[in-house]
C-alpha cells in the first residue's frame, strides 16, 4: 500500500486544511502581540476562538477516525514516512476526542478569566486573587488527565501533550541526578562570577544599532530573512505563519545590548528549526516539530553553546564595535565573562545557565505534588517560598517574585516546564555529537562560520519533522536517549 490509498489522501488533505486554519491563527496571534491597535482586542479574541473551534471540529469529525482506522487496518511499512504520519494522527485524534467538548470549553473560559486574575494578582503581589482560579484550573487538569488516561501519574497524561512518550518517573530520575550535580558546580561558578562586575556592559546602545547587529548575527548563523522577520514584543517568541514565513520577536533595553541579542539568538534557534522543516510536508506530522523539548534544544544550542562560547566574541567583538563603539574598551574575554555571569535570582526567565534548571525542577516537583493531591493550592505560596530557598538559596518575600511570577499556570499549562530542561540536556547532547561527527567544526566556529553545524542539525533533526518520536530522534541523532551527562560536562568545563 502507498500514499495514494484513499483514506490516507483524505487524511493528508484534512491535516493540511487544519494547518491553513491554524497558521492563520498563528499570524493573527502574532499580529495581536505586535501591531494590532488595542481596540481590536475583543474582535480578535472572538476570531481566534472561532478559528480554534473550527480546527478542532475539522479534526474530531467521526470520518477522520474512520480514515485513521482504515489506514491502520491496511498498514504501511512500519519504517515508512506514511506510517509516521498515521501514528501521529492517531495520537492527536485520540487526545482531541477523549476530551468532552464541555470540558474543553470550560477549560477555555476558566483560563481566560484566570489570566486576567493572575495579572492583577501579580501586580499587587497578592496570591488570594489568583487562588480560586488556580484551584479550578488544577481540578480541570485532573479531569483532563482522567479523560486522557495514564498508568502511573496524572502528570504523564499532561506531559504527553508537550513531550510525547516521556513520563514523570523518567524526569524524576533525570532530575535526581541533575540537582546535586548543579549544586556542586554552583559554588565555583559563583566564585568566578564574583570577579565580573555586574555592570560591565552597562552603556548606551541605540535601538537602531542593536537591530542592525542582531540582524547581522542572526543572518550569519543561517536565519533566512527572505523567509522571516523580527519585530518587537514584551515577551519574545517565534511563530510560523507557514513555509517561508517565520516571525521572531524580541525586546530591547537601551542600556544593555545583550538583552535583545541573546533573545534573538534564542528565537533564531527556534526559527532555524522551523525554516529547516520539510516544506513539502507542511501541515502534516512529517512537516512538524518533534516536541517542545526538541524545539527548545535548538534555541538553547545557539544561545548557550555557540553564543556564550569564547570563540563567539573572539569573532564578533570587532564587528560589534562597529555598531557599538564603546565596546572597544573591552576585550572579547570580558564580553564572554559578562554573558556567562552566574547569580541566583528569583525569576526563571532571567536565570543564568547553571541555576536555570533548578527553577524547572522546583516547578516540576510542585506541579506533581498539586496534581497528585498532596499539596493544596491554598498552601502553595508558603510551600513555594520554603522549597525555593532550599533549592536556590534566596528568601522570597513577595508572591510576585515567588509562585505568581510566571504566566503558564494562569494559562492552565501544567506539565510544560520540564520541556525547558529537556531542551538544555538535548542541546548539550546534540552539540557534543556534532563535535565528534564534524571535523573542523570548532575551527569554523572560531571564524564565524556556522554552515557545518547548521547542516548537521538540518540532517539529524530538522528534516525529519515528527517522523520519529522525540526520544527515538535523539537516539538516532546522538546514539542515546536524553541524559544529563553532556549538559553537566559542559557546565563543569565552563564554570569549574
Interacting residues toward Zn ion by CB under 5 A: 299
**Which of 391, 422 has the CB closer to Zn ion?**
422
Cβ within 8 Å of residue 205, ≥6 positions away:
254, 255, 256, 257, 324
Out of 82, 163, 267, 367, pick the active-site residue: 267
d(CA 272, CA 274): 5
Residue among 476, 481, 428 at smallest CA distance from 181: 428
CB of 298 to Zn ion, least distance (A): 9
Find the shortest distance in angstroms from Cβ 297 to Zn ion: 10
**What Cα–Cα distance (Å) separates residue 458 from each residue in 276, 381, 419, 461, 463?**
6, 44, 21, 6, 6
DSSP 8-state symbol, 77: -
Give the residue with the Cβ less far from Zn ion, 299 or 355: 299
Nearer to Zn ion, 7 or 269 (CB): 269
Least spacing, CB of residue 134 vs Zn ion, in Å = 24
Is 191 a known active-site residue? no
Nearer to Zn ion, 190 or 339 (CB): 339
CB of residue 389 to Zn ion, shortest distance in Å: 27
Return d(Cα 352, Cα 355) in angstroms, integer.
6
Give the separation between CA 172 and CA 205, rounded to whole angstroms: 43
156: closest CA among 147, 168, 146, 164?
168
C-alpha distances in Å from residue 434, one per residue of 275, 292, 424? 20, 21, 15
Least distance (Å) from Zn ion to the CB of residue 249?
A: 12
State the Cα–Cα distance between residues 142 and 151, nearest whole angstrom.
14
Minimal CB distance residue for Zn ion: 299
371 membership: H or E segment, kind and range: helix 356-371
260 vs 299 by CB, closer to Zn ion: 299
> Minimum Å distance from CB 162 to Zn ion?
13
Residues 6+ apart with CB under 8 A from 264: 214, 217, 218, 230, 236, 248, 250
Nearer to Zn ion, 193 or 299 (CB): 299
Catalytic residues: 267
Amino acid at each position: 500500500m502507498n500514499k495514494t490509498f484513499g483514506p490516507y489522501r483524505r487524511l493528508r488533505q484534512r491535516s493540511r486544511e487544519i494547518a491553513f486554519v491554524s497558521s492563520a491563527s498563528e499570524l493573527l496571534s502574532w499580529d495581536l502581540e505586535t501591531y494590532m491597535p488595542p481596540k481590536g482586542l475583543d474582535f480578535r479574541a472572538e476570531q481566534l476562538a472561532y478559528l480554534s473551534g473550527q480546527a478542532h471540529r475539522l479534526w474530531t469529525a467521526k470520518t477522520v477516525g474512520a480514515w485513521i482506522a482504515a489506514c491502520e487496518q491496511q498498514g504501511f511499512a512500519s519504517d515508512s514516512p506514511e506510517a509516521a504520519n498515521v501514528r501521529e494522527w492517531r495520537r492527536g485524534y485520540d487526545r482531541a476526542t477523549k476530551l468532552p467538548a464541555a470540558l474543553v470549553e470550560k477549560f477555555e473560559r476558566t483560563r481566560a478569566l484566570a489570566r486576567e486574575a493572575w495579572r492583577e494578582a501579580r501586580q499587587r503581589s497578592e496570591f488570594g486573587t489568583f487562588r480560586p482560579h488556580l484551584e479550578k484550573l488544577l481540578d480541570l487538569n485532573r479531569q483532563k488527565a482522567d479523560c486522557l488516561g495514564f498508568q502511573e501519574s496524572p502528570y504523564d497524561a499532561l506531559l504527553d501533550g508537550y513531550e510525547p512518550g516521556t513520563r514523570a518517573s523518567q524526569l524524576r530520575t533525570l532530575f535526581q541526578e541533575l540537582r546535586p550535580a548543579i549544586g556542586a558546580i554552583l559554588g565555583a561558578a559563583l566564585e568566578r562570577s564574583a570577579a565580573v562586575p555586574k555592570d560591565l556592559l552597562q552603556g548606551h546602545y541605540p535601538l537602531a544599532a542593536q537591530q542592525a547587529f542582531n540582524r547581522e548575527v542572526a543572518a550569519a548563523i543561517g536565519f533566512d530573512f527572505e523567509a522571516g522577520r523580527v519585530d518587537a514584543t514584551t515577551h519574545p517568541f517565534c511563530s510560523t505563519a507557514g513555509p517561508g514565513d517565520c516571525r521572531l520577536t524580541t525586546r530591547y533595553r537601551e542600556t544593555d545590548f545583550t538583552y535583545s541579542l541573546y533573545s534573538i539568538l534564542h528565537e533564531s534557534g527556534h526559527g532555524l528549526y522551523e525554516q529547516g522543516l520539510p516544506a513539502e510536508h507542511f501541515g502534516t506530522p512529517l512537516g512538524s516539530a518533534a516536541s517542545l523539548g526538541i524545539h527548545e534544544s535548538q534555541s538553547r544550542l545557539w544561545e548557550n553553546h555557540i553564543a556564550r562560547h569564547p570563540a563567539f566574541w573572539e569573532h564578533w567583538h570587532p564587528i560589534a564595535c562597529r555598531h557599538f563603539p564603546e565596546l572597544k574598551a573591552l576585550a572579547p574575554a570580558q564580553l564572554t565573562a559578562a554573558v556567562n555571569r552566574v547569580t541566583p535570582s528569583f525569576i526563571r526567565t532571567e536565570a543564568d545557565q547553571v541555576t536555570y534548571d533548578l527553577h524547572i525542577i522546583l516547578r516540576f516537583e510542585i506541579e506533581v505534588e498539586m496534581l497528585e493531591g498532596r499539596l493544596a493550592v491554598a498552601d502553595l505560596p508558603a510551600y513555594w517560598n520554603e522549597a525555593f530557598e532550599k533549592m536556590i538559596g534566596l528568601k522570597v518575600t513577595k508572591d510576585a517574585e515567588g509562585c505568581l511570577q510566571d504566566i503558564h499556570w494562569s494559562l492552565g499549562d501544567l506539565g510544560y516546564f520540564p520541556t525547558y530542561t529537556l531542551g538544555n540536556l538535548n542541546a548539550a547532547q546534540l552539540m557534543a555529537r556534532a563535535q565528534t561527527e564534524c571535523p573542523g567544526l570548532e575551527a569554523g566556529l572560531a571564524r564565524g562560520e556556522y554552515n557545518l553545524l547548521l547542516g548537521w542539525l538540518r540532517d539529524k533533526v530538522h528534516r525529519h519533522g515528527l517522523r520519529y518520536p522525540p526520544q527515538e530522534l535523539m537516539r538516532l541523532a546522538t546514539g542515546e536517549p536524553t541524559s544529563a551527562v553532556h549538559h553537566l560536562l559542559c557546565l563543569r568545563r565552563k564554570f569549574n
